[in-house]
Amino acid sequence: MAYSTKSKLEHRGSDSGFTLLEMLLVVLILGAVATSLMIVVNDSDDERRYDATKEKYEMILQATTGFQSDATSGFIADMGRLPRDLVELLRTNHPDASDTTLNIEDALDEWKLVGRNDDNSGWVTGLDTNEAEKINIRHGWRGPYLLATGGGIDETDDSTDNPTDYRYRDEWAENFVVDDEADGAPGLTIYSTGKDRTADSGIQENRYERDYPNDKTVPIGLYTLQTSSSPKITFTYSSGANLRLGVLFPGIDLTQTWNSSTTASQIELGLGPSAIAASASEQIITLPSSLFDGRLARDFQLVFYEETGQVSDTLADRVHYISRFPFSIPLQASPSISTRLNEAIPSP
């Protein structure tokens, strides 16, 4: 009889369900697993956004500077300066077609030969047409340098001179910051504000919320000329008044008034340091490295100006002879640049 009772009790125990404690334990375990999975998924999504933002940053950098190996393309190679903001890399036409003053084509010089007037209808006043036809240096905006990534222009801000452009965002849907004078100092700053969409004011422990990159300042020294070997120019100029050797480069304005009173103004205008007198023998002039160092230009063309003239003369007024072919200085190199002009410089 005792055996029978024990068997019944054992049988009843095997048919009983989970206890409340057991059910709570199962729920806790499942919750922990779900939380772990959510953390993994969120981290994976953040990592994907972070990597895609890094790729877009590199695209902005290349659109701005060109490829570091040659830097023959990109905004700074075309314009001879840094972009002031993201809009200059992107937009062509402003959405308000009636206000063309906000179009990039109207706000920035179009891609054209140095020495052409603003509307590209002819050469600037004073420039000799025969010499102007030799110019091979181009300058101006030929973008867009980046492809739009959606969002369009903020229509609520179109009435201002600088409407917000939402066409190139990071993966957290925030505009990249592009600034040529961050903190009031000349230079180039490019960065994403990260997941929190706020510029860092301190150290962020979460790397996804940090600004990217940590060092926001682009080392422009990598993209400007640094020459240790000055170009040597060989030419023949046998008779005539004194001339001044200089260079044409992207961004030079030939309508500037001639001013050779200081070394700084000479360099700004692309002028050599001293006058050249006629000589029966071949001459070799070494142009100073200071004429090239720090420029965002790569290509140059030789020009001989008349040394004397009116105080009000522009560079265009003084142009006497322009070499037929440009020469280039490779980026981040210190080559020995030698150029020989096979054609004798004519008398003024």
Q: What is the chain's mean pLDDT, rounded?
A: 79
Q: Greater confidence, 319 or 38?
A: 319
High-pLDDT (> 90) share of the chain, %: 24
- Judge contact between 327 and 217, C-beta under 8 A: no
Residues 131 and 189 in one domain: no
* Domain interval for residue 287: 110-139+224-348
When mean pLDDT is compared over 5-9, 246-250, 317-321, the highest value belongs to 317-321
Residues 50 and 128 in one domain: no
Residue 53 has pLDDT above 60, yes or no: yes
Q: Greater confidence, 96 or 191?
A: 191
Residues 127 and 157 in one domain: no
Residues 200 and 313 in one domain: no
Q: Greater confidence, 221 or 281?
A: 281
Q: Greater confidence, 321 or 156?
A: 321
Residue 89 has pLDDT above 60, yes or no: yes
Residue 188 lies in a domain: yes
pLDDT of residue 165: 52
Residues 187 and 58 in one domain: yes
Which of 314, 319, 254, 285 is closest to 116 using CA atoms? 254
Residues 173 and 319 in one domain: no
Residues 191 and 48 in one domain: yes
Residues 50 and 173 in one domain: yes
Residues 314 and 210 in one domain: no
Residues 313 and 334 in one domain: yes
Given 219, 241, 259, the domain boundary residue is 219
Give just the sign of the alpha carbon dihedral 80, 83, 89, 92.
negative
Find tokens 């008398």 and name the residue.
347
Mean pLDDT (whole number) for 235-257: 93
The total of structural domains in the chain comes to 2
pLDDT of residue 72: 54
Residue 149 lies in a domain: yes
User: CA 234 → CA 266, 278, 323, 338, 343, distances in Å?
Assistant: 21, 13, 12, 8, 11
287-314 pLDDT per residue, tens: 988 888 888 888 899 999 999 988 889 9
Mean pLDDT (whole number) for 100-123: 79
Given 204, 219, 234, the domain boundary residue is 219
Residue 191 lies in a domain: yes
Question: What residue type is 265 in one-letter code?
Answer: S
What is the spatial distance between Cα 86 and Cα 146, in angstroms, rounded to a whole number? Answer: 9
Span of 13-27, 189-203, 274-288 with lowest mean pLDDT: 13-27
